[in-house]
Amino acid sequence: MPGRAICVSMVDPTSDLEENVDPEDAPTCATCGEPIVNQSTHRVVTWVDDGTVQHRHFCDDECRDAWDDER
């Protein structure tokens, strides 16, 4: 489909999510809805849709694989 980018799932080793993040301020998993705090399994999928950057957070590979890709 035109205007679509390939999605890549990866861990950001420079993320500050493992340091002093309050669960209320943390991103939530797009699949299970749990806050993602201090999890080395955190995954983020990013893509560009019609010139706008979109992203989804996941608590682990299992939730990432189970994600209902609404794009």
In a domain, 34, yes or no: yes
Buried b / exposed e over 40-64, threshold 16 CB at 10 Å, is eebbbbebeeeeeeeebbbbbeebb
The structural domain count of the chain equals 1
Which structural domain range is residue 41 located in? Answer: 27-54
Task: Give the single-character DSSP code of 71.
Answer: -
In a domain, 5, yes or no: no
In a domain, 43, yes or no: yes
In a domain, 15, yes or no: no
In a domain, 16, yes or no: no
pTM over 0.85: no
Mean pLDDT by 10 residues, the chain (71 residues): 55 56 85 89 92 93 85 51
CA distance 13 to 24: 22
In a domain, 62, yes or no: no
